[in-house]
DNA sequence: TGGGAAAACCGCCAGG
DNA sequence: AACCTGGCGGTTTTCC
């Protein structure tokens, strides 16, 4: 039984958030052996819809699609006006009929305007969180999460947080393994964690999931320099090693040791750029058992050596540094394919 | 760079 | 019945 998704298109919207839903929930992945969705883009009225960027979007489907949908997605839209009575009613009916109702970015204003967020917790783009709370006092706005679910109503924060929410829906419907395959194919992290947060404007707590594993991850992030083995990690959250491995992979898509390796390499980047500590000292500071181990995993993940990385990204090379020529690559964070197991 | 020891990982399965 | 846990044995990965 395939899962049906209806995505709302509107006049004057930015295309990005709508595209997130189409990309994740609309692509046919059956050639890859993955389950998917029946997705339709629908509009309140027929006719061309002008989008940001000066192009038009057109669809033959109307709001009656909401009645057949298991999931209704409302992408970013107007933050000032109210939804029409027809749209508001269709959204309420869909929720009452048991459909998941999902907003991306400022789409939360539309849900709020339809009354669907009254008394419920909601997320939205951080620039508009205050406005949402002011316009809709009955909505419990949470400005610090990537997304939140409240009585079958899902709201996500700014722009790219919609990716996290859509992947969560896939995880809910088809399991973590399938969601991770989706993420890998899109080349995005299957799971945003503390290590990713440093690349974000401000750290964002997680939306939901395994609380014990999340707490463990937060603690690991603060203690990367310490020797950490499976037994210590398992003891920390009072489970067996077997259960830790299983639940860690369920929550993050990777294993504890692989995650640690990737986080330690990520932590080493700042030290390589911002200090003149020798590679041996950097290796020890971020918790590698030896410089050889550090170099091995750094090269595997970053496709260059620590010294070459430092020479490229820490400014001009020092006068006494050896002048070996090496292939140089731009800085990047570890890819999900490296965080996750290959199979 | 090689290879053996140790750790991490995971399928399987029994038990709660 | 559906779900989670954790021990066992074998394979893979890491360590030195």
- pLDDT tens digits along A161-198: 899 899 889 888 887 778 878 887 787 765 554 333 33
Per-residue pLDDT for A95 more than 80? yes
Residue scoring higher pLDDT (A246 or A315)? A246
Q: For the sheet containing A3-9, what is the strand order?
A: A37-43, A3-9, A71-74, A100-103, A153-156, A147-150
Cβ of residue A256 lies below 7 Å from strand B: yes
Q: What is the pLDDT of residue A237?
A: 96
pTM listed for this prediction:
0.65
Closest CA to A254 of A319, A313, A200, A335: A335
Per-residue pLDDT for A82 more than 80? yes
In tens, the pLDDT along A96-112 reads 999 999 999 999 999 99
Give A90 CA → C1 C1' in Å. Answer: 38
Give A159 CA → C1 C1' in Å. Answer: 42
Q: What is the pLDDT of residue A205?
A: 47
In tens, the pLDDT along A262-316 reads 889 988 988 888 888 999 999 999 999 999 999 999 988 887 889 988 887 654 3
| Average pLDDT of chain A to the nearest whole number | 84
Nucleotides of strand B within 7 Å of the protein's CB atoms: 1, 7-12
Spatial separation of the C-alpha atoms in residues A248 and A131, rounded to whole Å:
37
Cβ of residue A3 lies below 7 Å from strand B: no
Q: What is the pLDDT of residue A190?
A: 59
Helical (H) or strand (E) element with A6 = strand A3-9
Average pLDDT over residues A205-218: 78
CB-based burial, A264-285: b 16+ in 10 Å, e otherwise: bbbbbbebbeeeeeebeebbbb
Give A259 CA → B2 C1' in Å. Answer: 27
Per-residue pLDDT for A318 more than 60? no
CB neighbours of A18 closer than 8 A, spacing ≥ 6? A7, A9, A41, A75, A76
Place A66 in a pLDDT band, splitting at 50, 70 and 90.
Answer: very high
Per-residue pLDDT for A89 more than 60? yes
Q: Which residue has its C-alpha nearest to nucleotide C4's C1'?
A: A243
Q: What is the pLDDT of residue A340?
A: 38
Give A294 CA → C14 C1' in Å. Answer: 11
Residue scoring higher pLDDT (A185 or A342)? A185
Q: How many residues make up chain A in this entry?
A: 343
Give A249 CA → C10 C1' in Å. Answer: 20
Of all residues in chain A, the percent with pLDDT exceeding 90 is: 58
Which nucleotide in the DNA or RNA is closest to residue A242, CA to C1'? C6
Cβ of residue A297 lies below 7 Å from strand B: no
Give A239 CA → B16 C1' in Å. Answer: 15
Q: What is the pLDDT of residue A178?
A: 81
Average pLDDT over residues A129-144: 90
Place A32 in a pLDDT band, splitting at 50, 70 and 90.
Answer: confident
Q: What is the pLDDT of residue A132?
A: 94
Q: For strand A55-57 and strand A49-51, is the pairing parallel, antiparallel, or unpaired?
A: antiparallel
Cβ of residue A249 lies below 7 Å from strand B: yes
Residue scoring higher pLDDT (A68 or A338)? A68
Nucleotides of strand C within 7 Å of the protein's CB atoms: 5-8, 13-16
Stretch among A200-209, A260-269, A334-343 having the lowest mean pLDDT: A334-343
Which nucleotide in the DNA or RNA is closest to residue A296, CA to C1'? C14
Cβ of residue A230 lies below 7 Å from strand B: yes
Cβ of residue A290 lies below 7 Å from strand B: no
Which nucleotide in the DNA or RNA is closest to residue A264, CA to C1'? C14
Q: Which residue has its C-alpha nearest to nucleotide C15's C1'?
A: A293
- Tokens 């305007």, residue located: A113
Per-residue pLDDT for A230 more than 70? yes
């Amino acid at each position: 039984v395939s899962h049906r998704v209806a995505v709302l298109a509107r006049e004057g919207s930015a295309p990005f958030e709508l595209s997130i839903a189409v990309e994740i929930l609309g692509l046919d992945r059956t050639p890859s052996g993955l389950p998917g969705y029946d997705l339709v883009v629908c509009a309140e009225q027929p006719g061309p819809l002008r989008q940001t960027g000066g192009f038009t979007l057109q669809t033959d489907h109307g709001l009656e699609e909401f009645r057949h949908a298991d999931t209704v997605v409302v992408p970013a839209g107007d933050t000032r006006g109210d939804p029409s009575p027809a749209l508001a009613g269709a959204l309420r009916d869909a929720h009452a009929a048991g459909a998941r109702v999902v907003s991306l970015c400022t789409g939360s204003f539309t849900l709020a305007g339809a009354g669907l967020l009254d008394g419920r917790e909601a997320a939205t783009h951080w620039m508009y969180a205050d406005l949402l709370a002011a316009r809709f006092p009955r909505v419990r706005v949470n400005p610090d999460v990537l997304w939140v679910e409240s009585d079958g109503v899902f709201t996500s924060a700014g722009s790219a947080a919609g990716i996290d929410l859509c992947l969560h829906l896939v995880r809910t419907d088809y399991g973590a393994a399938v969601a991770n395959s989706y993420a890998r194919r899109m080349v995005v992290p299957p799971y945003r964690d503390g290590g990713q947060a440093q690349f974000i404007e401000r750290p964002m707590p997680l939306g939901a999931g395994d609380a014990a594993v999340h707490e463990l991850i937060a603690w690991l992030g603060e203690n990367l320099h310490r020797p950490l083995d499976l037994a210590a990690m398992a003891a920390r959250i009072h489970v067996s090693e077997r259960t830790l491995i299983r639940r860690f992979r369920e929550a993050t898509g990777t294993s504890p040791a692989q995650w640690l390796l990737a986080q330690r390499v990520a932590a080493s980047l700042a030290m390589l750029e911002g200090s003149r500590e020798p590679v041996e000292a950097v290796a020890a500071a971020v918790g590698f058992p030896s410089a050889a181990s550090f170099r091995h995993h750094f090269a595997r993940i970053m496709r260059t050596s620590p010294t070459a990385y430092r020479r490229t990204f820490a400014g001009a090379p020092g006068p006494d540094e050896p002048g070996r020529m090496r292939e140089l690559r731009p800085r990047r964070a570890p890819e999900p394919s490296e965080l996750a197991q290959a199979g």
